[in-house]
């Protein structure tokens, strides 16, 4: 860490919505300035890209309830490595369901020196039996309310949540899955589940929940964000609702954009996610939804899982993956392919910030042509549960400037 000014020379910033000519960037006191500064640390950017820092929807570092798996410090390090200055955090293992919990997490976030927004739970203990004091939590600074990744099977309870939640003015972040239709399944119901003899989760397990939440949102005028949408039919329902000017948004998971259920033939539990990988047709629909605006965000859903809980039989493995450290690299070139050589569109879906001279600067120095292998050392903390482990990616972060702190990930940029 240093408080000295940083002069990054010969870089191309993506600023004010477009690529700028190659130039020098002076970073001083967290702001992108101009000119030069005495005693500045000079870094030769060699024509690389300067991108605005990223924003992660979906992060859970599991501390303090499961700090034997991962810690908040591990998660903050993962954000640094992946170029994320901001995130939307929801603690599933230790739900934020009262003011004391909220105050505790707010203090942890402030100490991290990162921009972290907190989702509170709308039910006590994420058990979906008793409603939390949502109005108090909203007044105390909760960004919104989440379901803890646990499907809400009781419609009467869900109706009460929306009825009470309307008074808070906050958005509800919901993971749409119907427990009865999942019926102990853990992969997409279709060709590959039949081939492998796995119990399947039909797309109706998602679409039925999307439909009824859209109805509750419309009736009670509550903003709803759908998390980790996985199938084409759900996007059709969401698109219709958005065309009617409903306050609805959604995201798709990074790994649902990279893989489909054909990956199941590898029998690797690294492909186990809360929302199952769907068909190739569904995967293409998710990309189409991003391009036409039906989908607003790519979610990281960064969820650390111990090796012994992942490297087991597929049906016994805990769903989830870590992704903060590799999201930008994994998506950069496939985004260029999907958008016709406009990889910067990725910043619409992963970034909440901009680069402008004279304003606070949080940025990534990125080499789009550098090839590298994802290894266990890529990931912060003691876990590395990702289907990209061992694969070669093209495009690498070589340095970050987050919260006035420069960190280099490649030796020559130290």
pLDDT (tens digit, 9 = 90+) per residue, 280-305?
999 999 999 999 999 999 999 999 99
Contacts of 11 (CB under 8 A, 6+ apart): 22, 23, 24, 25, 45, 47, 48, 49, 50, 365
What are 117-154's pLDDT values in tens digits? 999 999 999 999 999 999 999 999 999 999 998 888 88
CATH number assigned to the domain comprising residue 23: 2.30.40.10
Average pLDDT of 172-196? 93
Give the pLDDT band of residue 67 (cuts 50, 70, 90). Answer: low
Percent of the chain with pLDDT over 90: 81
Is there a domain that residue 345 lies in?
no
Residues 130 and 235 in one domain: yes
User: Terminus-to-terminus CA distance in the chain, angstroms?
Assistant: 11
Is there a domain that residue 380 lies in?
no
Q: Are 334 and 340 in contact (CB under 8 A)?
A: no
What pLDDT score does 131 carry?
96
Report d(CA 171, CA 327) in Å as an integer. 25
Is there a domain that residue 386 lies in?
no
Residues 226 and 360 in one domain: no
- 33, pLDDT greater than 70: yes
Give the pLDDT band of residue 321 (cuts 50, 70, 90). Answer: very high
Is there a domain that residue 350 lies in?
no
- 2, pLDDT greater than 60: no
- 204, pLDDT greater than 90: yes
Q: Are 242 and 294 in contact (CB under 8 A)?
A: yes
Residues 226 and 237 in one domain: yes
Residues 271 and 396 in one domain: no
* Domain count for the chain: 2
Residues 57 and 45 in one domain: no
Is there a domain that residue 287 lies in?
yes
**Look-up of token digits 């039925």:** 208
Residues 24 and 79 in one domain: no
Which CA distances in Å does 401 have to 54, 77, 353, 368? 12, 13, 13, 18
What pLDDT score does 227 carry?
96
What pLDDT score does 125 carry?
94
Residues 35 and 56 in one domain: no
Report CA dihedral (139, 152, 240, 172) to the nearest 10 degrees.
10
SS3 127: coil
Residues 23 and 167 in one domain: no
SS3 23: strand
Is there a domain that residue 234 lies in?
yes
3-state DSSP helix/strand/coil percent for the chain, to nearest 5?
Answer: 35, 25, 40
What pLDDT score does 414 carry?
63
Is there a domain that residue 387 lies in?
no
Residues 254 and 172 in one domain: yes
Average pLDDT of 245-252? 94
Residues 157 and 233 in one domain: yes
Whole-number average pLDDT of the chain: 93
SS3 28: strand
Residues 42 and 10 in one domain: yes
- Looking at residue 232, the DSSP 8-state letter turns out to be H
39: left (phi over 0), alpha (psi -120 to 50) or beta: left
- 1, pLDDT greater than 50: no
What letters, b where the CB count within 10 A reaches 16 and e where it falls short, cover 288-320? ebbeeebbbbbbbbbbbbeeeebeeebeebbbb
Boundaries of domain holding 405: 6-51+355-374+392-413
Percent of the chain with pLDDT over 70: 98
* DSSP code string of 368-406: EEEEEE--GGGSSSS----TTTT-EEEEEEEEEEETTEE
Q: Around Cβ 359, how many Cβ atoms within 10 Å?
A: 12
What pLDDT score does 178 carry?
93
Is there a domain that residue 379 lies in?
no
CATH number assigned to the domain comprising residue 171: 3.20.20.140
What are 215-244's pLDDT values in tens digits? 999 999 999 999 999 999 999 999 999 988
Residues 325 and 399 in one domain: no
Q: Are 2 and 41 in contact (CB under 8 A)?
A: yes
Report d(CA 396, CA 410) in Å as an integer. 9
Q: Are 135 and 168 in contact (CB under 8 A)?
A: yes
Element (H, E) at 210: helix 204-220
Report d(CA 121, CA 133) in Å as an integer. 9
């Amino acid at each position: 860490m240093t408080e000295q000014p940083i002069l990054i020379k010969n870089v191309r910033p993506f600023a004010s919505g477009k690529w700028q000519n190659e130039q020098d960037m002076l970073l001083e006191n967290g702001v992108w300035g101009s000119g030069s500064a005495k005693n500045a640390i000079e870094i030769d950017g060699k024509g690389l890209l300067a991108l605005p820092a990223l924003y992660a929807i979906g992060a859970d570092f599991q501390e303090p309830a499961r700090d034997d798996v991962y810690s908040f410090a591990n998660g903050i390090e993962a954000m640094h490595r992946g170029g994320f200055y901001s995130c939307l955090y929801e603690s599933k293992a230790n739900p934020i369901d009262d003011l004391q919990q909220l105050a505790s997490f707010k203090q942890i976030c402030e100490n991290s020196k990162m921009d972290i927004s907190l989702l509170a739970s709308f039910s006590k203990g994420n058990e979906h039996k008793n409603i939390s004091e949502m109005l108090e939590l909203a007044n105390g600074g909760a960004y919104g309310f989440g379901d803890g990744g646990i499907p809400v099977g009781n419609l009467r309870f869900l109706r009460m949540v929306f009825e009470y939640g309307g008074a808070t003015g906050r958005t509800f972040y919901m993971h749409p899955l119907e427990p009865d239709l999942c019926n102990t399944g853990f992969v997409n119901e279709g060709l590959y589940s039949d081939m492998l003899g796995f119990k399947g989760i039909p797309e109706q397990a998602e679409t039925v929940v999307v439909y009824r939440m859209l109805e509750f949102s419309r009736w009670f005028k509550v903003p709803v964000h759908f998390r980790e949408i996985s199938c084409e039919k759900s996007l059709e329902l969401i698109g219709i609702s958005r065309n009617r000017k409903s306050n609805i948004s959604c995201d798709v998971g990074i790994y649902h954009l990279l893989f489909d259920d054909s990956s199941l033939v590898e029998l690797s539990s690294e492909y186990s996610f809360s929302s199952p990988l769907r068909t190739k047709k569904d995967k293409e629909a998710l990309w189409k939804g991003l391009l036409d605006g039906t989908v607003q965000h790519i979610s990281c859903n960064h969820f650390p899982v111990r090796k012994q809980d992942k490297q087991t039989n597929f049906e016994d493995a805990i769903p989830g993956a870590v992704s903060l450290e590799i999201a930008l690299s994994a998506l950069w070139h496939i985004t260029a392919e999907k958008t016709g050589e406009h990889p910067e569109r990725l910043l619409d879906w992963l970034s909440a910030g901009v680069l402008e001279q004279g304003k606070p600067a949080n940025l990534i120095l990125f080499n789009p042509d550098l090839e590298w292998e994802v290894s266990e050392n890529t990931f912060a903390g003691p876990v590395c549960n990702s289907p990209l482990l061992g694969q070669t990616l093209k495009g690498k972060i070589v340095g970050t400037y987050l919260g006035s702190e420069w960190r280099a990930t490649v030796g020559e940029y130290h």
